A and B are shown apart, each in its own frame.
Chain A
Amino acid sequence: MRLAGRFGGAALSLVMVAVLGFFLFRVVPGDPVVSMTRGRPTTAAMQAELRAQFGLDRPLPEQFWNYFTSLLQGDLGTSFTFRRPVADVILERLGPTLLLVGTATLIAVGLGLWLGVRAAWRRDSGFDRVTTGVSLTLWAVPTFWLGMLLMMVTGDLFPSRGMRDTDTAPDFVSQALDVGHHLVLPSVTLVAVVCAEYMLVMRSSLLEEMHAPYLTTARAKGLRDDVVRRRHAVPNAVLPAITLVFLRFGLVVAGAITTETVFSWPGLGLLFYDALTGPDYLLLQGLLVVTAGAVVVMNLLADLLHGVLDPRVKVV
């Protein structure tokens, strides 16, 4: 019953995302066609033609119906900027984002959880104070500013833009090394901010767990402190922390937007920023639907995963 509810809820959320995406960007005043053709020899007839191409000459309800039915078929409309299906444009930018976000999340989760465990276990120690202090500070740092600083400080060490150079040898090793080189600054930026949050979450999660009576029992059994931590406290505390990591997927998305913008990383975040400057409403709408949809799905997964892993939560 509860499982059905979860799926139903997620489905409803997805529908709401779709509706929100449409109305947010269609009710605004302004004619995208005028923006598109600004500064070029354009006749009124040419503008009308463009309007017809993008279906902007139809009444709003009809536009909504067209939008919704095509959305169900995976069609997000045509981007004003790129003259291509929004779905295609988004798809080809997915790879770079997954690479950046994947690398950063992996490092951030590993590092954040590890630091969180250490800090909580030796609460109020020098280590705890320093890591908590650093994490709280990093939490306060605007991502884009950190990126700009890193760029200014590192000077010529790292490339200033993008994912790869255009004149790198085409063999796999050279390309991989080149991408790795470009990846350093953006992932460090993203890791710094995300890691801080994970560390704090893990720390408080474990602190909570440490009050549990079973730990006292375990210690009374004569188990070494280290073993108690690794085998009893941490596994129980990690679970909620991991769930929270999934729930905070939106944070990573936000971080990706600013990081990619600063480093011209050719992923979805940069696409989002580019769509803003048009503004390319259909592309923005598509990006909103896709990112929000992804977050909804991630949450559903986290929920299900939690139920499977933690016997205390009954999903079915």
Chain B
Amino acid sequence: MRGVGAVGGFLAGRVDRGGFLAQRAGVAGAAVLAVAALIALLAPLLIPADALDVTRVTDGAWQPPGPGHWLGTDHTGRSVALLMAQGTGTSLFVGLTAAVLAVGIGTLVGILSGHFGGLLAGALLRVTDFFLVLPALVLAIALSTVLPRGLGTIILAIGLTSWPSTARMVRAQTLTIEARPFVERARALGGGHTHVIGRHVLPSVVPLVLVNATLAVASAIVAESTLAFLGLGDPTRISWGAMLHQAQLHGAVPQRAWWFLLPPGLAIVVVVLAFTLVGRALEAVVTPKR
């Protein structure tokens, strides 16, 4: 699993303010994502159930692109183009939910350890550091091996292993904010924990969390495809990663069936890149100019 720190600048507190170019790339990324979302939403409505049911397809297996199936067919004779469309939803869904889970845990842990001092903060920080250094993919693989197969497991495995960098960042931001005079004033005026967190800390971390979440989606989609490729995904669902797993399982490379190997990988690259570009553009917007 890739750290989001490289494409954003936060992890080390570094900021790349991007500039005009990054904004334009961000807009392009957003447009790509809009298209992907549209496909994901429409695919289940527009694709007839029979078309993806291996028991009902009529096309031959391993057909190269041609009329009727313009991206060719897979090992069962299903249209790769339709599989791609159907898989968009799963890949986006896993990416989004896993990212929300990761960023949610990260934000919670970050604010708690930043706001409250003492033993709790120490313990949380210890745990964060522990998970930060663990190789996330190894842990995610381990989790998906021992839990029952399914989308839930994949989401859990990715979410539970990729929150620490968010926690680190949110904690730093929380500490910065709480050191500001207006927070101290609020405390002096009798603001409780809820008040301080709710009114001051949370609003100030939200933009950063948002950026982080966008980048986390990108990393989660790659992680999902890796887990699916290793055969740890939900085999009853179509996702881009699962398609690549099938391609390998059924011999797409010796068949030279490039039409079954290229599209899922390219789709992952394009969508992940789009999330990254949007993330960078958002980062440039929310980071205060110095």
Residues of A within 8 A of B (CB): 9, 12-13, 16-17, 24-25, 27-28, 124, 129, 136-137, 139-146, 148-149, 151-152, 196-197, 200-201, 203-205, 207-208, 211, 240, 244, 247-251, 253-254, 257-258, 261, 272-273, 276-277, 279, 284, 287-288, 291-292, 295-296, 299
Given the complex, which residues of B lie within 8 Å of A9, measured CB to CB? 126, 129
Which residue in A244, A257, A291 is a CB contact (below 8 Å) of B12?
A244
A142 in contact with B21 (CB, 8 Å): no
Q: Which 7 A-B pairs have the closest CB atoms?
A: A250-B135, A254-B137, A140-B272, A145-B265, A28-B146, A197-B6, A140-B273
CB pair B2 A197 closer than 8 Å: yes
Best-buried of A145, A197, A208, A253 by chain B (most CB within 10 Å): A145
Cβ of A81 to closest chain B Cβ, rounded Å: 14
Give the CA-CA distance A261 to B229 in the complex, in Å: 10
- The answer to whether B167 has its CB under 8 Å from any CB of chain A is no
Known contacts A152-B258, A201-B6; is-contact A124 B133 (Cβ 8 Å):
no
Give per-residue flags for B239-280: 1 if the beta carbon is below 8 A from chain A beta carbons, else 0.
001001001100001001010011011001110110011000
In whole Å, how far is B246's beta carbon from the nearest beta carbon of chain A?
12
Q: 30 interchain pairs (CB within 8 A)? A: A13-B133, A24-B142, A27-B146, A124-B21, A136-B273, A139-B276, A140-B222, A140-B270, A142-B226, A144-B229, A145-B225, A145-B229, A145-B264, A148-B247, A148-B261, A149-B261, A149-B265, A197-B3, A204-B14, A204-B15, A248-B3, A250-B137, A254-B138, A254-B226, A257-B141, A258-B229, A273-B230, A276-B141, A277-B231, A284-B145
Contacts of B244 in A (CB 8 A): 142, 144-145, 148
Q: Is B218 an interface residue (CB 8 A)?
A: yes
Cβ–Cβ < 8 Å partners of A201 in chain B: 5-6
- CB of B274, distance to nearest CB on chain A (Å): 9
Instruction: Tell me whether B19 is interfacial, beta carbon within 8 Å.
Output: yes
A124 touches B14 (CB 8 A): no
Q: Which of B135, B230, B256 contacts A152 (CB 8 A)?
A: B256
Query: Which residues from 137 to 157 on chain B have a C-beta closer than 8 Å to any C-beta of chain A?
Result: 137-139, 141-143, 145-146
- Judge whether B282 is part of the interface by a CB distance below 8 angstroms: no
Q: Tell me the minimal C-beta distance from A257 to chain B in angstroms.
A: 7
Q: Is the CB of A140 within 8 A of B16?
A: no
| Alpha-carbon distance A250/B134, docked complex (angstroms) | 7
Chain A residues with CB under 8 A of B19: 124
Residues B6 and A16 in contact, CB atoms below 8 Å apart: no
The yes or no answer to B109 lying at the interface (CB within 8 A) is no
Contact of A272 among B138, B139, B290 (CB under 8 A): B138
Residues B12 and A205 in contact, CB atoms below 8 Å apart? yes
Contact B142 A200 (CB under 8 A): no
Complex: A17 Cα to B222 Cα, angstroms:
25
Closest to B225 in A: A142
Q: Which residue of A lies closest to B266 (CB)?
A: A145
Q: A25-B146, A139-B7, A253-B138 are in contact. List 16 more A-B contacts (CB 8 A).
A: A12-B130, A13-B133, A17-B134, A136-B7, A141-B268, A144-B244, A145-B244, A200-B6, A205-B12, A211-B290, A240-B14, A276-B230, A276-B232, A279-B145, A287-B138, A295-B133
With A140-B276, A208-B14 known as contacts, the answer to whether A292 contacts B135 (CB < 8 A) is yes
Least CB distance from B13 to A in Å reads: 9
B150 → chain A closest CB, angstroms: 15
Q: Which residues of B contact A299 (CB under 8 A)?
A: 133
Distance, CA A249 to CA B16, complexed state (A) = 23
Across the interface, do A207 and B229 meet the contact criterion of CB distance under 8 Å?
no
Q: CA of A147 to CA of B133 in the docked complex: distance in angstroms?
A: 26
A249 to B3, CA, bound (A): 11
Q: Which residues of A contact B3 (CB under 8 A)?
A: 197, 248, 251
Contacts of A248 in B (CB 8 A): 3, 6
Are A254 and B6 in contact (CB-based, < 8 A)? no
Query: Nearest Cβ in chain A — how far from B269, in angstroms?
Result: 5
Enumerate chain B residues within 8 angstroms of A207, measured Cβ to Cβ.
Answer: 14, 16
Residues of chain B contacted by A211 (CB below 8 angstroms) = 290
Residues of chain B from 102 to 156 with CB closer than 8 A to chain A in the complex = 126, 129-130, 133-139, 141-143, 145-146
